[in-house]
């Protein structure tokens, strides 16, 4: 049976109107109602700029370009220029053109190896939350509500070694076993009801939210991806801790308080 797009569009439109009516219900006529209506209208106009946009447009475009590059990499492997197709990702555009034309002046294998080492070294670098003087003006604009500022700037240091302070992102308290996840390649290791500790999440990480019991991140603020999605799934979450992935190890038992922003390490592995 053919999919009825017209009926589906009408259903979505009906659901949207019902939701708008629910939001405005009980709000008295006047300045407050007008302000809420304007805010609601702006919010609806921003809906296209959601994680779906990031997933289908930004990541989707890069994924298609990657398919072309990997295809080139496979040909270069057959020619004995590269060891594995993925090595092509370590070459700059003009370098790849020269390699494909057979006119690259240096050792391609050595260049790729050096680039891979540089990438691994870069992963070990953990920058400070800020450098220099963070003025009230700077915290108000452009950093207000971005990356957890100004909340992270005014955050007090932890009171004990086994306490990590972050920002309350999704209410609730959960205790469980921590699972440090640094890349999507580690998703399969996550067990049901574990508490994921990561640097940051993106739309690709949504598949984990049906499985986990809680979330802790190094980066992010109240409007960040991990915070928003955690609230959607009703998962206790603390974001913007800066160093949770360094202080928590897989197997540690931790308590996440998504209402206060505190993470307690109850027992080490």
Residue 218 backbone zone (phi > 0: left; psi -120 to 50: alpha; other: beta): alpha
In the annotation, is 225 catalytic? yes
Give the strand pairing for 167-170 and 163-165.
unpaired
Question: Residue 246 in contact with residue 184, Cβ under 8 Å?
Answer: no
- Between CA 170 and CA 233 the distance in angstroms is 9
- Helix, strand, coil % over all residues of the chain, rounded to 5: 50, 15, 40
Angle of helix 60-78 relative to helix 93-101, nearest 10 degrees, comes to 30
- Between CA 202 and CA 11 the distance in angstroms is 29
Q: Please say whether the dihedral angle defined by the alpha carbons of residues 240, 242, 247 and 251, taken in this order, is positive or negative.
A: positive
Which of 53, 54, 154, 225 is catalytic? The answer is 225
For residue 173, what is the enclosing H or E element?
strand 173-180
- Between CA 175 and CA 177 the distance in angstroms is 7
The tokens describing 212, both together, are 């986990």
Q: What are phi and psi of 250, to 5 degrees?
A: -55, 130
The tokens describing 144, both together, are 């207000």
- Between CA 37 and CA 223 the distance in angstroms is 21
Q: Among all residues, which ones are annotated catalytic? A: 225
């Amino acid at each position: 049976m053919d999919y009825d797009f017209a009926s589906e569009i009408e259903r979505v439109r009906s659901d949207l109107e019902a939701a708008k009516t629910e939001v405005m219900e009980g709000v008295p006529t006047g300045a407050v109602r007008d302000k809420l209506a304007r805010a609601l209208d702006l919010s609806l106009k921003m809906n296209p700029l959601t994680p779906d946009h990031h997933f289908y447009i930004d990541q989707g475009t890069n994924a298609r370009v990657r398919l072309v590059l990997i295809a080139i990499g496979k040909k270069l492997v057959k020619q004995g220029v590269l060891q594995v197709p993925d090595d092509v990702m370590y070459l700059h555009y003009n370098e790849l053109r020269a390699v494909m034309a057979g006119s690259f002046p240096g050792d391609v294998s050595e260049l790729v190896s050096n680039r891979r080492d540089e990438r691994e070294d870069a992963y070990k670098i953990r920058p400070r939350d800020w450098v220099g003087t963070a003025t009230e003006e700077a915290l108000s604009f452009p950093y207000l509500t971005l990356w957890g500022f100004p909340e992270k700037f005014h955050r007090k240091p932890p009171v004990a070694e086994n306490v990590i302070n972050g920002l309350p992102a999704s209410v609730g308290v959960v205790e469980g076993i921590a699972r440090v996840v640094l890349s999507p390649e580690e998703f399969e290791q996550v067990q049901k009801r574990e508490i994921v500790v990561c640097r940051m999440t993106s739309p690709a990480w949504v598949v984990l939210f049906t499985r986990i019991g809680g979330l802790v991140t190094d980066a992010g603020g109240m409007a960040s991806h991990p915070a928003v999605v955690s609230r959607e799934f009703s998962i206790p979450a603390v974001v913007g801790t800066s160093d949770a992935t360094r202080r928590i190890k897989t197997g540690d038992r931790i308590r996440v308080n998504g209402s206060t922003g505190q993470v307690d390490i109850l027992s080490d592995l």
